[in-house]
Copies of this chain bind each other. A is one copy, B any other.
Amino acid sequence: MKLAQANSVFRALADPTRRAIFEELTRQGEQTVHALTRYAGVSQPAVSKHLTVLKRAKLVRHRREGRESHYRAQPDALAPMVDWLNLYGAFWRDRFDRLETLLERMEP
Protein backbone atom coordinates (compact mmCIF):
# COMPACT_ATOMS: atom_id res chain seq x y z
CA MET A 1 0.00 0.00 0.00
CA LYS A 2 2.07 2.84 -1.39
CA LEU A 3 2.30 5.52 1.22
CA ALA A 4 4.65 7.71 -0.76
CA GLN A 5 2.00 8.06 -3.44
CA ALA A 6 -0.46 9.24 -0.85
CA ASN A 7 1.96 11.84 0.40
CA SER A 8 2.41 13.52 -2.97
CA VAL A 9 -1.34 13.55 -3.55
CA PHE A 10 -2.10 15.07 -0.15
CA ARG A 11 0.60 17.67 -0.62
CA ALA A 12 -0.47 18.56 -4.15
CA LEU A 13 -4.07 19.14 -3.14
CA ALA A 14 -3.20 21.15 -0.06
CA ASP A 15 -2.86 24.33 -2.12
CA PRO A 16 -6.15 26.02 -3.05
CA THR A 17 -4.90 27.27 -6.42
CA ARG A 18 -3.86 23.75 -7.34
CA ARG A 19 -7.21 22.38 -6.24
CA ALA A 20 -8.95 25.03 -8.33
CA ILE A 21 -6.93 24.04 -11.39
CA PHE A 22 -7.74 20.39 -10.84
CA GLU A 23 -11.42 21.20 -10.35
CA GLU A 24 -11.48 23.24 -13.53
CA LEU A 25 -9.86 20.41 -15.49
CA THR A 26 -12.38 17.98 -14.05
CA ARG A 27 -15.37 20.14 -14.91
CA GLN A 28 -14.35 21.53 -18.27
CA GLY A 29 -12.12 18.77 -19.52
CA GLU A 30 -8.81 19.25 -21.27
CA GLN A 31 -7.37 22.75 -21.17
CA THR A 32 -4.33 24.57 -22.43
CA VAL A 33 -1.99 26.34 -20.06
CA HIS A 34 -3.13 29.61 -21.52
CA ALA A 35 -6.77 28.91 -20.74
CA LEU A 36 -5.90 27.76 -17.24
CA THR A 37 -3.88 30.91 -16.67
CA ARG A 38 -6.84 33.12 -17.49
CA TYR A 39 -8.89 31.07 -15.07
CA ALA A 40 -6.48 30.72 -12.18
CA GLY A 41 -5.80 34.37 -11.49
CA VAL A 42 -2.04 33.95 -11.22
CA SER A 43 0.79 34.34 -13.72
CA GLN A 44 1.47 31.79 -16.42
CA PRO A 45 4.72 30.54 -14.85
CA ALA A 46 2.86 29.99 -11.59
CA VAL A 47 0.32 27.86 -13.41
CA SER A 48 3.09 25.89 -15.09
CA LYS A 49 4.70 25.14 -11.75
CA HIS A 50 1.41 24.07 -10.23
CA LEU A 51 0.84 21.76 -13.16
CA THR A 52 4.28 20.27 -12.61
CA VAL A 53 3.39 19.49 -9.01
CA LEU A 54 0.09 17.96 -10.06
CA LYS A 55 1.87 15.94 -12.72
CA ARG A 56 4.34 14.52 -10.18
CA ALA A 57 1.36 13.35 -8.16
CA LYS A 58 -0.05 11.82 -11.36
CA LEU A 59 -3.16 13.96 -10.92
CA VAL A 60 -2.86 15.38 -14.44
CA ARG A 61 -1.45 14.27 -17.77
CA HIS A 62 -0.30 16.56 -20.51
CA ARG A 63 -0.34 16.21 -24.24
CA ARG A 64 1.84 18.34 -26.47
CA GLU A 65 0.23 19.72 -29.58
CA GLY A 66 2.37 22.19 -31.45
CA ARG A 67 3.21 25.17 -29.36
CA GLU A 68 0.52 24.50 -26.81
CA SER A 69 0.26 21.70 -24.28
CA HIS A 70 -3.08 20.44 -23.13
CA TYR A 71 -3.61 19.17 -19.62
CA ARG A 72 -6.34 16.90 -18.39
CA ALA A 73 -7.28 15.58 -14.98
CA GLN A 74 -6.55 12.02 -14.00
CA PRO A 75 -8.98 11.24 -11.16
CA ASP A 76 -7.61 7.73 -10.70
CA ALA A 77 -4.64 9.26 -8.94
CA LEU A 78 -6.95 10.22 -6.09
CA ALA A 79 -7.14 6.56 -5.12
CA PRO A 80 -4.53 6.74 -2.33
CA MET A 81 -6.44 9.57 -0.69
CA VAL A 82 -9.70 7.67 -0.94
CA ASP A 83 -8.05 4.57 0.47
CA TRP A 84 -6.72 6.59 3.36
CA LEU A 85 -10.16 8.01 4.04
CA ASN A 86 -11.67 4.56 3.95
CA LEU A 87 -9.18 3.35 6.51
CA TYR A 88 -8.95 6.26 8.92
CA GLY A 89 -11.90 8.38 8.16
CA ALA A 90 -15.41 7.68 7.25
CA PHE A 91 -17.35 4.76 6.05
CA TRP A 92 -18.73 4.76 2.56
CA ARG A 93 -22.32 4.43 3.75
CA ASP A 94 -22.16 7.65 5.72
CA ARG A 95 -20.51 9.28 2.78
CA PHE A 96 -23.19 8.10 0.43
CA ASP A 97 -25.85 9.64 2.61
CA ARG A 98 -23.80 12.78 2.74
CA LEU A 99 -23.45 12.83 -1.03
CA GLU A 100 -27.21 12.59 -1.37
CA THR A 101 -27.84 15.58 0.86
CA LEU A 102 -25.04 17.40 -0.88
CA LEU A 103 -26.60 16.88 -4.28
CA GLU A 104 -29.97 17.88 -2.90
CA ARG A 105 -28.50 21.11 -1.69
CA MET A 106 -27.08 21.78 -5.14
CA GLU A 107 -30.40 21.31 -6.93
CA PRO A 108 -32.08 24.63 -7.61
Contact = CB atoms under 8 A, between A and B. Distances in A.
Interface of A: 1, 7, 10-11, 13-14, 16, 19, 22-23, 26-27, 73, 75-76, 78-79, 81-90, 92, 95-96, 98-99, 102, 105
A84 to B, nearest CB: 8
Main secondary structure of the interface of A (DSSP, over half): helix
Given A86-B99, A90-B79, A105 B1 contact: yes
A86 to B, nearest CB: 5
A92 B88 contact: no
Contact of A78 (B1, B7, B85): B85
A21 to B, nearest CB: 11
